[in-house]
Amino acid sequence: MSASVNIALVIGSLRKESINRKFAEYIVSQMPDSVTIKEVHIADLPLYNQDYDDKTIESYERVRQQLKDADAVLIVTPEHNRTIPAALKNVVDIGSRPYKESVWTHKRVAVVTASPGSFGGINSGLDVRKSMQMLSAQLMVDPEIHLSRATDSLNEDGSVSARTQKFLQGFVTDFVQFAGKSGG
């Protein structure tokens, strides 16, 4: 790929030692030089409230601009209580507002979920996809990545295991191609 591609990375977990952060960092490390990735930091965001639509909230504006500037968004997230973590849902809502100014419309979005449980965060992934579809985002559907028993995919030092590396490298190739497509 010769053209530069800008990716916004959203990690749905706020934990410093999040397993999703470890997978996100590995994915980022595998991106070609033509890809620029900027993490969208979400821990400082006030909960979305429609009363804020007529106000300037610096953290909201920062996040909206990062999402607008990106060619695509990579969401790497756990599952909380069989759905989207609150911090991630807040970003989805902030990006969708004010009315008719959604940053998600036609935005290319890929979702990766990881969970220590046997379902790999699939419910969270499906719920993120459901929200993105409603907001007219363009979703990467092949492959879908739901890493089950994700702690088993990490070595003792917290690095990603060789088997999972190979799997995620295939995802990176597909995602970069998806993110670099023009049009909308």
Which CATH number does the domain housing residue 65 bear?
Answer: 3.40.50.360
Q: What tokens appear for 101 in the block?
A: 């100014």
Is there a domain that residue 184 lies in? Answer: no
Q: What confidence tens digit (pLDDT) does each residue in 133-163 have?
A: 999 999 999 888 999 999 999 999 999 999 9
Is there a domain that residue 55 lies in? Answer: yes
The reported pTM is: 0.95
Phi-psi region of 177 (alpha: psi -120 to 50; beta: other; left: phi over 0): alpha
Is there a domain that residue 83 lies in? Answer: yes
Is there a domain that residue 90 lies in? Answer: yes
Is there a domain that residue 57 lies in? Answer: yes
**Tally of domains in the chain:** 1
Determine phi and psi for 48, rounding to 5 degrees: -60, 140
pLDDT category, 1, cuts 50, 70, 90? Answer: very low
Is there a domain that residue 11 lies in? Answer: yes
Domain that holds residue 96: 5-179
CA 124 to CA 129: how far, in whole Å? 9
Is there a domain that residue 40 lies in? Answer: yes
